[in-house]
Structure 1
Amino acid sequence: MNAILKKAMSSGVSSTYISVALLILRVVGGAFMLTHGLGKFEALFSGEPIQFRDPIGVGATASLALAVFAEVLCAILLIIGLGTRLAAIPLAITMLVAAFIVHANDGFGRQELPLLYAAIYISIALIGAGKYSLDNWLSKK
């Protein structure tokens, strides 16, 4: 168990409550992101010309593929708690790109949601999946 969880538990917070909170963050943060990613997944394989922004200069198709990787595959991994810390990193990066590059000129109203998602994913990357996850189950085998 990492130092953050140990400190929280030493202050009287039950590890069960922390793990339930992490489960909620993982499932909600992953499921909500998955709803954004599924539309992009369909667009990637629709056979129609790719109409997607290229915020980091790798091309529209590569940008869309990277977004689909994060918003679909990493979101699913986050939900089930498998490779959780690693899966949270592309999600956080995707949301930071959305906030600071894609919506750079749109004002805080358009940046707020991606920044909220990024904060969730960064927190999960730092703390881990909790005991209600495949990561935890696999580590006990």
Structure 2
Amino acid sequence: MRALKRLIDPGSPDLGLLFARLAGALLLLTVHGLPKLAHWRTELAHIDDPLGLGPQLTLACALFAEIVCPLLVALGLFTRLACLPVVFLLAVSMVLVHPDWTLEQGQFGWLLIIVFGTLALAGGGRYSVDARLAAPGR
């Protein structure tokens, strides 16, 4: 029992980082990423292009940030780096695409910025592939 408690300490910030990684990644992937992928032609026809990259590149960047990056974050692989495209995409969306939204209308986007921004600052924690790769003797 002590070994299990040492492995998974319920008071550990690492458990909180694991929860934030999995919950944030799952939300972003299921609410934004997978629907965009499933309906990419429709998305391509009406996607906003606030940076002037063109609809194809803009959609490709969005799919990368909303599918590839959340999968990396969930695994805890390159966590800090994988959070940056997500935060950038969400910030562009909230500031340039939806500047007219009230705080209430944009609360999901702002909360995701908080979750992924926190993970970018804190990293994936002890329960991540990053931590395994950084472990001594590897």
TM range (shorter): 0.7 to 0.9
User: Retained in 2: the 8 A contact 1:99–1:110?
Assistant: no
Please report the TM-score for the alignment, with normalisation by the length of structure 1: 0.82
After superposition, the Cα gap between the structure-2 partners of 1:64 and 1:70, relative to the gap in structure 1 and judged at 3 Å, is same
Please report the TM-score for the alignment, with normalisation by the length of structure 2: 0.84
Distance 2:44 2:88 in 1: 26
What is the number of residues matched between the two proteins? Answer: 127
After superposition, the Cα gap between the structure-2 partners of 1:112 and 1:83, relative to the gap in structure 1 and judged at 3 Å, is same
Distance 1:101 1:16 in 2: 39
1:69-84 equivalence runs, <5 A: 69-84=64-79
After superposition, the Cα gap between the structure-2 partners of 1:56 and 1:20, relative to the gap in structure 1 and judged at 3 Å, is same
- CA shift, 1:15, in A, is 9.5
Partner of 1:93: 88
Give the superposed CA RMSD.
Answer: 2.0
Partner of 1:40: 36
User: Retained in 2: the 8 A contact 1:27–1:79?
Assistant: yes
Tell me, yes or no, if structure 1 residue 65 matches structure 2 residue 28: no
User: Retained in 2: the 8 A contact 1:85–1:124?
Assistant: yes
Distance 1:49 1:17 in 2: 43
After superposition, the Cα gap between the structure-2 partners of 1:49 and 1:105, relative to the gap in structure 1 and judged at 3 Å, is closer
Tell me, yes or no, if structure 1 residue 52 matches structure 2 residue 59: no
Distance 2:45 2:71 in 1: 24
Question: Could you report, residue by residue, the CA deviation over 1:81-124 in whole angstroms, capped at 9, with x for unpaired residues?
Answer: 00000000011111111211111012222222111101111110
Q: 1:137 aligns with which of 107, 127, 132?
A: 132
> Secondary structure at 1:116's aligned position in 2?
helix
Partner of 1:30: 25
Deviates most, 91-100 or 25-34: 91-100
Q: 5+ residue gaps in structure 1?
A: 1-13
After superposition, the Cα gap between the structure-2 partners of 1:48 and 1:115, relative to the gap in structure 1 and judged at 3 Å, is closer
Deviates most, 125-134 or 55-64: 55-64
Distance 1:58 1:94 in 2: 13
User: Retained in 2: the 8 A contact 1:81–1:134?
Assistant: yes
